[in-house]
Amino acid sequence: MAAYEANFDGLVGPTHNYAGLSFGNVASTGNQNAVASPRQAARQGLAKMKALHDAGFKQGVLAPHERPSVASLRLLGFAGSDAEVIARAAKEAPAILAACCSASTMWTANAATVSPGADTADGRVHFTPANLNNKFHRSIEHPTTGRILKAMFADESRFAHHPALPAQMHFGDEGAANHTRFCHEYDQPGVEFFVFGQAAFDHRYPKPARFPARQTLEASQAIARLHGLKDSQVVYAQQDPDTIDLGVFHNDVISVGNRNVLFHHQKSFLQQAEVLAELDRKLAALGGHFVAIEVPEAEVSVEEAVKSYLFNSQLLSKSDGKLIIVVPEESRNIPRVWTYLDKLVNSGGPIDEVRVFDLKQSMQNGGGPACLRLRVALSDAELAAVNPAVLMSDALFATLNGWVDKHYRDRLTGEDLADPQLLVECRTALDELTQILKLGSVYPFQLA
């Protein structure tokens, strides 16, 4: 194969905690104030990365961010030394401090939207960091995310980096969690599938009533323009608002795709039949054959899909052309979901293997296997141009596990976020990590 789909997983940060910050994400709000284990969370994520690397898949690491974000607290009027800023925020605005301590950068499906060179006008891989405008704790991520991506994909002849879209509700962008690409081979032109929750300027589109729609049509269209995509290779679809109101805050909670296969729920999209027909037609025009696997509500309800994160899974293409589905342990613990998965892999269809991972620390905050990874389709030459220090190996796995054991706490509560030593621990850890991953100066405390 001349090209690959590489997965770059977010390394869980030292401040991983359960503050219940993500309204619309049932798991996040439901586990508010639970005791977290940053060390265990990071180890669980690394174990998945290493297992997929060992299975022959291209696997990389995305670094966490500095937290608490003292720079963000200072912008909000908290002054003094770093310790004084944290102490004052803890006393006057503990909810803001919690937001500035979030380790949400671990969910790198929201880091950016990526278009491979086979699709773009200039033949380069394009990256646009997500502005994540819907949630304050995530909206502060994109400047550092952009610097980290540039340190990983530095060759300007092969990689193009755009700034995030305007940080305004009309252009709310949640990154690859609402973006999928279909193709025959990774190095051939494909169809890029953008899913949005609402239209900001066109009021003909319905909106959810209970939970926010985080991705706008206008944001998706802007990214397609920035990346130089052809209209004939783009499909836009609206997520079902009623499904959003059941806790499907991103499209990757109700569908997942890879190569020519879309695995999705019966209630994923508005005008679903028309959406699937357009994907089929546009991929066929490129010489591909689109396959949709639709899970009936009668077999797995939306509520069961949200609880199990059946669709927040990874579809990975094996050397024999078949697909493996990577699911969290929670999918095995819900009988109807596990029964469906057993039926799926024995159906003779393209998905013929299921692999289960324990990602409980991430799952309790509302992020499954798909949330933890950013997919980047790369040719051999592009892969060779990626910063090699971020690519998983036996040595990097051992080094990062040792780094986690050295710097991470085993237990973290909401009260611990007020401890100024936590910032010192995070900065010390990240300073060492930049050397391990050869990232240079990408963090605010290094740039000051």
Residue among 368, 374, 248, 244 nearest 309 (CA): 368
Strands 191-196 and 179-182: antiparallel
The active-site residue out of 100, 101, 183, 371 is 371
Alpha helices in 189-251 (DSSP H): 217-226, 241-244
Catalytic site includes residue 66: no
Catalytic (active site) residue 432:
no
Sign of CA dihedral 56, 57, 60, 62: negative
| Whole-number Å distance between alpha carbons of 96 and 31 | 18
Q: Which residues contact 324 (CB under 8 A, 6 or more apart)?
A: 55, 315, 316, 318, 351, 352, 353, 354, 355
Q: Which residues contact 13 (CB under 8 A, 6 or more apart)?
A: 38, 42, 64, 65, 67, 103, 105, 106, 426
Catalytic residue among 141, 174, 304, 382: 174
Q: Is 183 a catalytic residue?
A: no
Of the chain, the end-to-end C-alpha distance in Å amounts to: 44
Token reading at 373 = 């990874």
SS3 for 388-405 is HHHECCHHHHHHHHHHHH
What CA–CA distance (Å, rounded) separates 46 from 396? 10
Instruction: Supply angle C-alpha 16, 21, 27, rounded to 5.
Output: 80
Cα distance between residue 389 and residue 267, in whole Å: 41
Catalytic residue among 142, 179, 250, 264: 250
Active site residues: 174, 250, 371
